[in-house]
Amino acid sequence: MFQKILIANRGEIACRIMRTARVMGIGTVAVYSDADADSAHVAAADDAVRIGPAPARESYLRVDAILAAAKATGAEAIHPGYGFLSENADFADACAVAGIVFIGPPADAIRAMGLKDRAKALMEKAGVPVVPGYHGADQTGLKGKAGKIGYPVLIKAAAGGGGKGMRRVDVAEDFEAALESAQREAKSAFGDDRVLIEKYVSQPRHVEVQVFADQHGHVLHLLERDCSLQRRHQKVIEEAPAPGMTEAMRAQIGAIAVKAAQAVGYVGAGTVEFIADASKGLRPDRIWFMEMNTRLQVEHPVTEAVTGIDLVEWQLRVASGEALFKRQNDIRPKGHAVEVRLYAEDPPSGFLPSTGTLERLVLPDSVRVDAGVREGDAVTAFYDPMIAKVIAHDATRAGAIAKLAGALTKVEIAGLRTNNAFLVRTLRHPDFISGDIDTGFIPRHIEELAPQTPPSDDVLAAAARYVLGKTSADTDADPWSNADSFRLAGPARQVMDFVVDGKHRRVAIPAPSAKFTTQVLRLANGDLAAMDKGETFVLHLHDPLHDVDTEGEGADRILAPMPGKIIQVHVQAGQAVRRGDPLVILEAMKMEHTLSAPRDTTVETVDAVLGDQITEGAVLVRFAGEAP
């Protein structure tokens, strides 16, 4: 066994590999970019080497720097994790040349499976059923080929991955435009614009089989996973076993997966991905080979949970030359496991990645959590926005789902947007619970799953109490000892005003004895984060007298202090306003800014138009008469 390994990756997977290495008594070396100098995976390693600036091309994808780091630290082997260099055959070759073990398959196996079209041709030859379609070298007359396959079809980049260069086409008239844009995207993402065309499988389910091979010719499969819950063709919830899988069908696809691995002389951990037409349930004659991923998958923990096998331990054993000691018959699923990928992303805006600092990060302790970030860490645009994977295991599928959903309601995250509440809603959806899933599940239910429900009055009341608690602590006086109630700024008040998602919300101030489960935190930008049952609400404390006063009391107009979008207009021309009255609310840099009247005056014109995107310095409101 190795004495020391280098992990050519970052985030949760680097931390997870190190955890097993430590248990096995193997030393660990981290590599890091400048953006990751203080990150969790560096802290977790015995040794760490800087390999370059933040962009992956200049750090985590730099073969020379990584090999030099391994040499300098005496690491005998490199684990590439997933992503980055994990499926890069040239890197595997370079490791061999440098006399370092690549913890993964032989370079030739990576090459054989690296292109979707070639892999399909190879599998077809080996007698494996592949998705019907066209995957030839000739890239002319593709529209005619699509017509022969029959619409709907799916255009895929031959070199594809991550859903890039993939377009579904429903009718012939749309084919040319879709092809052009798929080729353009493929060219820019992979430097290769070749495509294949597949029949678009109806009610598709993504079922994949974990395989394992040693260097002595033994190949096993470690059961299947179902990864049908996807957004933008990318996995977000995975489970093992696949709902509705029968023993017979498992044996069949397991045998196909083993055959696929054998066909390319596979060694180590790999995944054979299938697509099933689930319109009539899972059926052996309706499942086809899609592609093989020649690395450890993100979702490997669900397999670990149901098989009791540590896949990273097996990878290290196989790479160091040990033989697999289990037989196929020893591998039986025990219970059910479900994993969610907790992402820094915003479901309501089409799952756009969100960046920022994790001002609060509380993850559940009742289930397995694989995280690569800590409270205070930043999620940047340089890397994958995954915060953590959360995995629950139970005797039954319903039990695992309930455990996982319950655990996620304990999550507290502030400082950026996450999909946590979306995940809870998905796990608790009756159709998900009943196993009625396919890859269209999320798009089909998006209206129920994505939008954030407005915070309850209780959540706002908890925030109000938090603000009062802070204020009274600051001034060292208990506002409740005042007979005329609390004074925040000026007049006595029994209520507090917030702006939530551009809308005003007023809440009665609760009695000091009121108890709340909502956790409240003041963010660095002055807003409040109210965290309740796994959901985070950002509340802007609406205090007119303290809001932006752009030009001072004497101004005859209100100018936009920064570029942004007009999300509320409160006044009309001719209206009398009092000092501090809100005039316009501007959303800029994801924050809301209330522009208020600088003095008692009359509005002459309102130049701000609701919904308009405006530039800095734009006139929003003009006042009548001379400025005093």
Contact set with ligand ADP (CB under 6 A):
131, 154, 156, 160-163, 166, 198, 200-201, 204, 206, 230, 233, 273, 275, 290-291, 439
Q: How far is the CB of 427 from ligand ADP (least distance, A)?
A: 19
Q: How far is the CB of 261 from ligand ADP (least distance, A)?
A: 17
Cα-based distances in Å from 277 to 26, 58, 274, 318, 360: 44, 42, 10, 35, 42
CB 528 within 8 A of CB 459: no
**Which residues, at least 6 apart from 278, have a Cβ–Cβ distance to it below 8 Å?**
203, 204, 205, 244, 286, 438
62, 295, 341, 360: the active-site residue: 295
Q: Which is nearer to ligand ADP, 202 or 525 (CB)?
A: 202
Q: How far is the CB of 388 from ligand ADP (least distance, A)?
A: 21
Q: How far is the CB of 74 from ligand ADP (least distance, A)?
A: 36
CB 26 within 8 A of CB 6: no
Tally of CB atoms within 10 A around 250: 19
Q: Which is nearer to ligand ADP, 198 or 532 (CB)?
A: 198
Q: Which is nearer to ligand ADP, 51 or 264 (CB)?
A: 264
CA distance 61 to 88: 10
Chain centre distance of CA 182: 23
CA distance 273 to 292: 6
Give the strand order in the sheet containing 601-606: 557-559, 619-623, 601-606, 576-577
CA distance 625 to 271: 74
Q: What are the respective helix, strand and coil percentages of the chain, to the nearest 5? A: 30, 30, 40
Nearest to 67 by CA among 109, 40, 34, 29: 29
Q: Which is nearer to ligand ADP, 230 or 303 (CB)?
A: 230
Task: Tell me which H or E stretch contains 160.
Answer: none
Q: Which is nearer to ligand ADP, 207 or 567 (CB)?
A: 207
Count how many residues are written for the chain: 628
Crossing angle of the two packed helices 116-125 and 247-263, in degrees rounded to 10: 110
CB 430 within 8 A of CB 327: no
CB 564 within 8 A of CB 617: no
Q: Which is nearer to ligand ADP, 117 or 549 (CB)?
A: 117
Q: How far is the CB of 289 from ligand ADP (least distance, A)?
A: 11
Q: Which is nearer to ligand ADP, 105 or 160 (CB)?
A: 160
Nearest-Å Rg of the Cα atoms of the chain is 28
- Strand extents, DSSP E, 215-311: 219-231, 234-240, 268-277, 287-293
Q: How far is the CB of 262 from ligand ADP (least distance, A)?
A: 22
Q: Which is nearer to ligand ADP, 287 or 363 (CB)?
A: 287
Question: Which region, left, alpha or beta, applies to residue 374 given φ > 0 means left and ψ of -120 to 50 means alpha?
Answer: beta
Q: How far is the CB of 58 from ligand ADP (least distance, A)?
A: 25
CA distance 545 to 253: 67
Q: Which is nearer to ligand ADP, 156 or 250 (CB)?
A: 156
Nearest to 565 by CA among 544, 591, 596: 591
Q: For this structure, is 295 an active site residue?
A: yes
DSSP character at residue 281: B
Q: Is the dihedral of CA 408, 413, 416, 421 positive or negative?
A: positive
Which residue type, as a one-letter code, is found at position 11? G
CB 339 within 8 A of CB 390: yes
Q: How far is the CB of 92 from ligand ADP (least distance, A)?
A: 19
Q: How far is the CB of 214 from ligand ADP (least distance, A)?
A: 26
DSSP character at residue 286: G
Q: How far is the CB of 159 from ligand ADP (least distance, A)?
A: 10
Q: Which is nearer to ligand ADP, 239 or 291 (CB)?
A: 291
Q: Residues of 309-320 as b/e, b for ≥16 C-beta within 10 angstroms?
A: bbbbebbbbbbb
Q: How far is the CB of 303 from ligand ADP (least distance, A)?
A: 17
CA distance 563 to 463: 29
CA distance 262 to 267: 9
Q: Which is nearer to ligand ADP, 129 or 163 (CB)?
A: 163
**Which residues are annotated as catalytic?**
295
